[in-house]
Amino acid sequence: MKFAVATVLTALLGFTAPLFLPWWCFAVTSLVIAYTIHQKPLWAFVSGFTGLFLVWGVYAWFIDRQNGHILSQKIGPILKLGSSSLLLVIVTGLVAGLVSGMGALTGSFARK
């Protein structure tokens, strides 16, 4: 339950806060959530990671589908990732997930 709540809140704040603040502000929101809703470090990381992996990954996946993969197939090669749209979507999710997960891990350690 804690895991689900933390993950959902991480996702919600991770989506909302960057609408007004720089993209990386979710590192802070994820930290705060992990501090507030305390879990063991591993679980805090997983929920931080999952929350933002889902926000960025699903959002990117949705945009990419509406776009018929036109842009992702052009940006992939520029980032040396090849022209697989799915890979770019996953990398997008991973980047956000990693930053958020590390933020959450920091929060978890800071509490205990």
Partner 1 sequence: MRVIPSILCAAITTGLVLVLNVQLPVGGTKTPRLGAFLSPQKGFWQNAEDTSIKYQLQLASDKLQGKVEVYFDDRLVPHVYASQENDAYFVQGYLHAKFRLWQMEFQTYAAAGRLSEIMGEESGGTNFVKIDKMFRRLGMVYAAERSLEQMEADSTTKSQCDAYTAGVNTYISSLSEEDYPVEYKLLDYKPELWTNLKTALFLKFMSYDLAGFEEDFEHTNARSVFTKQEFEALYPYGGALTDPIIPKGAVYYDPEDRMPIPALADSLYFLYKPAAVAAVPDTTKPAAVPDTTVKPDKANGSNNWALSGSKTLSGRPILCNDPHLGLGLPSLWYEMQISTPRYNAYGVSFPGAPAIIIGFNDQCAFGFTNSSRDVRDYYEIRFKDKSMKEYWYNGGWQRTTFRDEVIKVKGGSDRVEHIAMTVWGPVMYDASYPDPLGTGKAYACKWKAHEPSNELRTFTLLDGAKGYIDYLDALSTYKTPGQNMLFAAKSGDIAIRQQGEFPAKWRRQGDFVMPGDDSTFAWRRDIDAEENLTFFNPSRGFLSSANQYAYDTIYPYYLGGSYEVFRGMIINRYLQSMEQATVADMERMQTDNYNVFAELARPVLLNYLNESMLNADEKKYVDIVRAWNLRNDAREKGPTVFKIWWDSLAVCIYGDELAQSRKPMPWPEKVTLLEGMLQGPAYQFADDITTPDVKESVAEMVMKAYKQVVPVLKETESRQKLEWGTYLDAGVRHLLKLPALSRLHLNSGGGEGIINAMKQHHGPSWRMIVELTDRTNAYGVYPGGQQGNPGSKYYDSFVDTWNTGRYYKLQILDKETIKKYKGLSGIMTFSKS
Sites of contact with partner 1 (CB under 8 A): 15, 18-19, 22-24, 27, 31, 41, 55-56, 59-60, 63-64, 66-68, 70-72, 74-79, 91-92, 95-96, 98-99, 102-103, 105-106, 109-112
* 79: its two tokens: 């980032």
What is the nearest approach in angstroms of partner 1 to the Cβ of residue 112? 6
Q: Torsion-angle region of residue 21: left (phi > 0), alpha (psi -120 to 50) or beta?
A: beta
Rank residues 1 and 40 by Cβ distance to partner 1 and give the closer one. Answer: 40
Place of tokens 């999952």: 50
Cα separation of 26 and 85, whole Å? Answer: 25
Question: Is the separation of the CB atoms in 101 and 45 below 8 Å?
Answer: yes
Rank residues 12 and 102 by Cβ distance to partner 1 and give the closer one. Answer: 102
Rank residues 4 and 24 by Cβ distance to partner 1 and give the closer one. Answer: 24
Cα separation of 36 and 34, whole Å? Answer: 5
What is the nearest approach in angstroms of partner 1 to the Cβ of residue 107? 8
